[in-house]
Structure 1
Amino acid sequence: MANSTALYSNITQVSVYSNKNIETVRMALLILCICFCFFLYFLTLILCVYFTTAHIRENTRYVLFVHMLINDTLYLVLVITLFLGALYMVFLPVPLCYFLVSLCTTSFRVTPYNLAVMALERYVAICYPLRHAQLCTPQRSHAAIAIIWAVGFLPCVADFIALSSSVGTKFFSLNVVCSQPGLLKTSEQNTMRSITLVLSFALVGLIIVYTYIRIMLIARKFSSGKSSAFKAGKTVMLHAFQLLLCMTSFTSYLIDTYIKYYLDSLPIINFLLFTCLPRFLSPFIYGVRDEVFRKYIIKWHSSAIALG
């Protein structure tokens, strides 16, 4: 059970630190706050560009990108809240705890699903350019986002049914330190969560590989490395890189298993590197790289400095 729990998220692999580790904890929290502030700054710039530029709001690619950033922000807020609550032993009612954990895990699953849809949008744009305007509209992108969230939330419904059938009503009246292992009461829950996670990443990985191959086959027909197909191929590779970053949570269990006896502060290091860092990088991987967003970000940043 510990295996799949660790694979699913790092937020619960934390304990109360002794005095000798308090400085490490404080330094880690300081780094976390600084990184989160930079993340929010770039997120604010990107959102300002998105909501004040009509043609960007009507572009399916940017709709999906902004949704991913908002989802990453939600995930970071939830995961940091749960991490600090576990770190400082804050007790919450079980219903509230289950809601927060379910929302957090759903948000975690939504990120790779969103990457898959973004890769498919690039695939349609390059392989079926004449149908792109018809298939990839803002309305359809909003429908795709709703479907993504529905699919991401379904495992939580199955998990709640399995949990409710195994525990009495007294369990939901308890106050607990909110953590995912504390809500795993049956082997069925553990199995469902492991299978859902593995299948999700495997399916998304296959979609990204397939779309990249098809796009690059189109790109080979063009001699110029500056063609839209080559650029789309690079974008899909960025999706694959982002998926790989999301999958780094798999390595945290192995690191905790073999190194935890040598490094007491390992849980918080794992939390920073494998849970927070991949989401902190999203605005830089996509927003700063994109020519349209980069132009507007520089403009907004220059205006902010001038007003300051």
Structure 2
Amino acid sequence: MMNLTVFSTFNNITYINNQYLQMHQHVQIGFIIIITFCFCFFIYFILVLLVVYFTTPHVRENARYILFAHMLINDTVYLSLGLFLSMGVGLLIYIPVPICYILVTCAAATFRITPYNLAFMALERYVAICFPLRHTMLCTAQRSYVAIAAMWFVGWLPSFADFIVLISSVEIKYFSRNLLCRHQSLLVLPVQNIIQSSILIGSFILVSLVILYTYIKVMLIARKTGSGKSSASKAGRTLILHAVQLFLCLLSLTSSFSEKYQGEYNFLVIMLNFLMLMYLPRLLSPLIYGIRDKVFSKSIKKMYSTIK
């Protein structure tokens, strides 16, 4: 009789565990579907904005829109890599170190480039409001492309330094390993963390000072005009948006702390981090610009009215 009771209890526990595992798998699949849908929406919206950019001649020659289009492309690359890496870690997929290093390095570079892009966009608005007569001379399409090249050069410098430190300090057999592909897994030496943290902190401080300086100068001009609808006031609100974007980029760094959790809900934590700290901040900029900017909003309305 006791054996039957123990056997029945064991069956009940097994059934409950199976039910729990099935529910856990369903939740994982649900999160994957939600994340995939959100990512596809982002890509679709970015493509609409880029179509407007590439099909409107005067937009392609405007420094402000060149920098904006570059930010869209850069954020798309960052989110694509971020989604792939998050899925890989969440689903416990092990990747060879060389491939992982390339993916993580590209993701880190595109992450660093976003604040630099915000700084140049803030400077463009500053020149447009404070030096309107010199704006067309200073903010040309050619100089915008030079600024983009400078962003990529500076953005990749820490990665080059990290690579030199890594190959000069670890054994060659390290690169034959497979691991869960995330940034923390590739920090095998303390100096790597020092290099990454120092440059990241310095970049955020510098960009914050640039945005703060340009905002103060632009708002002084807006106060002189005394009109809430003046171009200076609109530029001031744009700079506030850039400051919010910078803060959200900084906030996304907190994901590294929550991802140290290795419990049974690790996958959900990683997916929530991607959705809240990586996806939503990048969606904010194209969404607001697409609605707020007259050039893009008119072109999008015209595009969809033609389709209908």
Counterpart Cα distance in 2 of 1:109 and 1:227: 33
* 1:6-21 correspondence runs (5 A): 21=24
Partner of 1:101: 104
Aligned-pair distance for 1:260? 8.1
* 1:185-196 correspondence runs (5 A): 185-196=188-199
**TM-score when normalising by structure 2:** 0.88
Worse-matched range after superposition: 194-203 or 51-60: 194-203
* 1:148-163 correspondence runs (5 A): 148-163=151-166
Aligned-pair distance for 1:203? 1.1
- Residue 238 of structure 1 aligns with an amino acid whose one-letter code is L
Identity %: 53
Asked if residue 174 in structure 1 is aligned to residue 181 in structure 2, the reply is: no
Aligned-pair distance for 1:176? 2.8
Aligned-pair distance for 1:200? 1.2
Tell whether the 8 Å contact from 1:127 to 1:214 is kept in structure 2 after alignment.
yes
Partner of 1:114: 117
The structure with more helix, counted as a fraction of residues? 2
| 1:58 aligned residue (50, 61, 79) | 61
| 1:40 aligned residue (36, 40, 43) | 43
Counterpart Cα distance in 1 of 2:115 and 2:195: 18
Partner of 2:33: 30
Provide Cα deviations, 1:140-167, integer angstroms capped at 9, x if missing partner. Answer: 0000000000000000011111111221
Counterpart Cα distance in 2 of 1:212 and 1:234: 9
Aligned-pair distance for 1:124? 0.6
- Residue 148 of structure 1 aligns with an amino acid whose one-letter code is M
Counterpart Cα distance in 2 of 1:254 and 1:156: 22
Worse-matched range after superposition: 236-245 or 54-63: 236-245
Tell whether the 8 Å contact from 2:113 to 2:151 is kept in structure 1 after alignment.
yes
Counterpart Cα distance in 2 of 1:172 and 1:260: 25
What secondary structure is seen at the aligned counterpart in 2 of 1:218?
Answer: helix
Counterpart Cα distance in 2 of 1:280 and 1:89: 27
Aligned-pair distance for 1:268? 2.3
Counterpart Cα distance in 2 of 1:278 and 1:287: 15
* 1:199-214 correspondence runs (5 A): 199-214=202-217
Aligned-pair distance for 1:84? 1.4
Counterpart Cα distance in 1 of 2:159 and 2:189: 14
Partner of 2:146: 143
Aligned-pair distance for 1:170? 1.2
- Residue 116 of structure 2 aligns with an amino acid whose one-letter code is Y
Aligned-pair distance for 1:89? 2.9
What secondary structure is seen at the aligned counterpart in 1 of 2:179?
Answer: strand
Tell whether the 8 Å contact from 2:66 to 2:141 is kept in structure 1 after alignment.
yes
Provide Cα deviations, 1:71-107, integer angstroms capped at 9, x if missing partner. Answer: 0000011111111122223333322211111111000
- Residue 104 of structure 2 aligns with an amino acid whose one-letter code is V
**TM-score when normalising by structure 1:** 0.88
Counterpart Cα distance in 1 of 2:21 and 2:193: 31
**Highest Rg: 1 or 2?**
2
Counterpart Cα distance in 2 of 1:250 and 1:180: 11
* 1:231-270 correspondence runs (5 A): 231-253=234-256, 265-270=268-273
Aligned-pair distance for 1:49? 0.8
Number of aligned positions between the proteins: 288
Change (3 A) 1:281 1:260: farther
Partner of 1:79: 82
Superposition RMSD in Å: 2.1
Partner of 1:12: none
User: What stretches of structure 2 of length at least 5 have no aligned partner?
Assistant: 1-19
Provide Cα deviations, 1:33-84, integer angstroms capped at 9, x if missing partner. Answer: 1211221221111111111110000000000000000000000111111111
Partner of 2:220: 217
Change (3 A) 1:250 1:78: closer
Q: Give the number of the structure with larger relative contact order, counting CA–CA contacts within 8 Å between residues 6 or more apart.
A: 1
What secondary structure is seen at the aligned counterpart in 1 of 2:225?
Answer: coil
* 1:276-295 correspondence runs (5 A): 276-295=279-298
Asked if residue 88 in structure 1 is aligned to residue 91 in structure 2, the reply is: yes
Aligned-pair distance for 1:271? 2.2
Provide Cα deviations, 1:229-271, integer angstroms capped at 9, x if missing partner. Answer: 11111111111111111112133355567x9879653232122
